Structure 1
Amino acid sequence: MLKTDGLRCWAQIDTDAIAHNVKEIQKLVGDTKVMGIVKANAYGHGALACTKALQKAGVDYFGVACLQEAIELREGNIKDPILILGYTPPTCFEILDQLDLHQSILSYDYAKKMNEWALENHTKLKGHVKLDTGMNRTGFLYQDGAKEKEELLDTWNMPGLQIDGIFSHFPVSDDLEKDSADFTRHQMDLFDEAIEEIKKAGYHPGLRHIQNSYGILNYQDRGYDYCRPGLLYMGVTSDDSVPVLSNPDFIPILSLKAKVSMVKTIPQGATVSYGRHFKAKKPTKIASLTIGYADGLPRICSNQDLKVLIRGHLVPIVGNICMDQCMADISGFDDIKEGDIVTLIGEDQGTTVTLDTITRLAHTINNETLTSITSRVERFDLAALNDQEKDI
């Protein structure tokens, strides 16, 4: 059991629920395997803990954004293949080789730099070729009117590269409108076309993967080798209001908690917090809470009737959210006192407040809300705590 006496604000991560969420993903994608995307500290959930939970659920390949994140996993004794989805400076190619990492091959020029370094150092660098079928971020151009076929095939022929896969990315797989759906399907057609060109030239394309989380929800079993869920194995999507073409039973794995630091009654006409945007219309009981925007509670949610749970009571945040604190109107609830636990995301006494509620008020996506939970918010792996108790 988590002891909260010395805590200010914290996140509880139910890593046991990851196995359930992975099973729900696998129901959608059939024989396609799961590459667990654990970049950005597993979207704020804790990269190493989530990676180990994914391993227990049968996941055997992981994706990160950068070299630093890959190093963290290797130092955490993660020996499975790791794909770096973003850019690694050529000065760090030696680390790719030493740690047996797979690097995204982001362009023809980048492939030549990788090949040159590998030949000079009498080794091969492993990688997956990134294909740009419409995201127009990184990757070999492979779109109508702009197909780098010759460069693609020449890359497969480079002796310093061990190409173990090919992948692309969807920009609008979350949008079911016809134009976006047609665009996404055409991306898959282009992806398949490029793979056929590689095969015709006598090369093996390696592992094929293109489906992100919404690609899994809306395009399901496409017969590729891997899919790349991020938020899905954490039990949430980017936006709860966006319709999808499936109905999986996901369990959100993160709860966000804080404490009541003080309770006071302010007189009618008194104002609360910076800017004095909340004015008490009557004597009002105010609770100060130990969380603010420097912890990841967006300041833009101020004065928008954001509600939190204290002792099972839904109470509104009032006044501007401060850097380290915020205030709630707890009028009518005499049982709330200093030291009580505040639930900002999660369940308390049968009532739930969702991550998506904060996100909608912040006019963003759940990805950003989660990754904005800062490092001073301690993360606790509930499964690990339970295992420790069993060992005692």
Structure 2
Amino acid sequence: MRKQWLVGLLTVGLVVCGLTGAGHTKVEASATTDQFISRMSSPVKKVATKYKLYPSVMMAQAALESGWGTSQLSTSANNYFGIKGAYNGASVTMNTAEYNADGQLYYTDAAFKKYPSVTASMTDNAELLRNGTAWDPNYYSGTWRENAPTYTAAADALNGTYATAPNYGASLINLIQTYNFNALDNSSASTKGSSSASAQASASAKVDYYYGADSQTAALGSNYKHYSIYDHVKGSKHAATKFSWSKVGGWQARPVWIDARGYKTSTKTNWYRVRFSKQTTSKKYWLYSKALRFPKTTYTAYKKSANLVDGSYPVYDHVFNSAYIAEQLTTTKALANHSVAIDKKAIHIQNGMTTTWYRIHGGSTSGWVTSLAVKK
């Protein structure tokens, strides 16, 4: 990783922790795993709760980066995240591996922060995630609990930001699920000393989350001010903070970008995660569906066999930019010039433009494609 205060996280385990493989694809838990979890649980919960992060993700990162607390960096400097620099003037120098601009591995001596305690290491890492970089304070905003509805979303948000390894988030999720770190999230969900937060947690509704492409849009409806805007789905297991429209800024027909939908099963209602900028690092909020106006999509049955054109068109699980929020499943490249069955047609109208979509079935591929992908 090329951050002036961070070690290349791909290689901390390789050089400092004694882990195998620069990709962090696997971490072998030693006999000290139980002691590590017992020792780290309290400071992880305390710090992550204070900074509104997921304790499960922080615990998994600490385990992954420090080799379950066996790395020289963690044992000699209480540094569990491989953060470079000096802490209150204290540092240790170690040989580490980095990647250059061409992706080549090389070794160099570097100064790493030396912390007085585990909690100090956790706090420094939490402040990094909360404050971001000098050029972008929202750089790690995908890990914040108000933006990430689940620990898996928070872990995946570290791909390409905190670490360049494409499977970094998957490695964290694997650790969380293997060692039940997500139990730490449940114990820290409520605000300390808040009986109302506890009551909300006990009466929380089940929410099913669906994620899609970042470029999908909608607009604030004419009655958007009748509904509040939150950092979580209201009534979910997460304590939701309400924001005023005067602070957020809103007007009728203001465009919003949507990347997730939350379906409350008890009330059969939809909520959407929105931001007010194309930038994916912009602050995200949750809105009730009736506060938004979506492009019109009309569905009809349509039975036909067809061939796909040459090229690579996206195949989505729903019509793109519809109220369902579409996630790309694959492309039509593998099915080009092959016969597919069509069982449904959709007419999509947005900003005065009409497009046609078909739901296709071919081999193991099933999803929605634009009519441009279907031969006339």
Shorter-chain TM-score: which interval? under 0.3
> TM-score if structure 1 supplies the norm length?
0.25
Q: TM-score, normalised by structure 2?
A: 0.25
| Higher relative contact order (Cα pairs below 8 Å, separated by 6+ residues) | 1
Structure with the largest fraction of helix? 1
